[in-house]
Structure 1
Amino acid sequence: MRKRLAELLDDPTLLARYRAAMDGQAVGRMVPSLPYIDGVPADSGLRVRLTTTRAVLEVGENVVMLSAAGSTFEFAPAAEAVLRPLVDGRTIDLATLADTAGLALEGVAGLVQELVAGQAATVGSLL
């Protein structure tokens, strides 16, 4: 058993994998998105940011996964352009996200609503 444990601990990717796993589980600051708790409107000036600075974005061939605030969210590949600036720590308005991603404002608002419902993002006009 000791030999097997030593082999596992010798894995050069062990710490990086551990940090990535822990980063996605880091709980963010609980920030209510008042008055947008029941829904994020397709308001171009509405700003959004993640509630944690330790989110992890994994891009696969058919799926983009965001691990943030103790939850994992799965999105279509087109969502990467929306999620990337948020994971990078930016506070950004919905119109810019929609333009950058080439998506409809309503679609971006729906994606952000999922993050708000999971307490991984907060929205507001004064962020």
Structure 2
Amino acid sequence: MRKRLAELMDDPRLLARYRSAMDGQAVGRMVPSLPYIDGIPADPYLRVRLTTARAVLDVGDDAATLSAAGTVYDFAPEAEAVLRPLVDGRTVDLATLADTAGLALEDVAGLIQELVAGQAAVVGSLL
């Protein structure tokens, strides 16, 4: 067993695989989205950012999967345009996300509500 463990420790990809596995599990800084804890309004000026810098976005033909703050979220592939700027660390207003994705502001607010409920995102006017 010691020999096998030593072989595994010598694998140059070990650290990269570990970081990749842990990235989506990193808990973000808890920031309340007051007064929006009961729902995110379709306010074009409301700004959003992720609470963790280690979110992972995987996009396939059938889904855009976001792993952030210890939770895995599955969205339609079209959500990539909403999620990508957030995963890249940007703070963006809902109007910009809706325009970029070609989605209705209400749909973007609903998607962001899921992230806020899971403490993976925070919203506010002054972010």
Given the two structures, how large is their TM-score scaled by the length of structure 1? 0.92
The change in CA–CA distance for 1:5 and 1:60 in structure 2 (over 3 A counts) is: farther
Q: What corresponds to 2:61 in structure 1?
A: 61
Q: What corresponds to 2:105 in structure 1?
A: 105
Which deviations, in whole Å up to 9, do the C-alpha atoms of 1:8-30 show, x marking residues without a partner? 44544332221012111111110
Given the two structures, how large is their TM-score scaled by the length of structure 2? 0.92
Equivalent residue runs for 1:22-61 within 5 Å: 22-61=22-61
- Percent identity between the aligned chains? 83
Name the stretch that deviates more: 71-80 or 14-23.
14-23
Q: What corresponds to 2:86 in structure 1?
A: 86
RMSD: 1.4
Instruction: Letter of the 1:44 partner, please give it.
Output: P
Q: CA deviation at 1:68?
A: 0.9
Runs of at least 5 residues in structure 1 that lack an aligned partner in the other structure? none
Give the number of aligned pairs. Answer: 127
The change in CA–CA distance for 1:13 and 1:59 in structure 2 (over 3 A counts) is: farther
- Work out the CA distance in 2 between the residues paired with 1:39 and 1:75: 19
Equivalent residue runs for 1:106-121 within 5 Å: 106-121=106-121
Q: CA deviation at 1:60?
A: 1.7
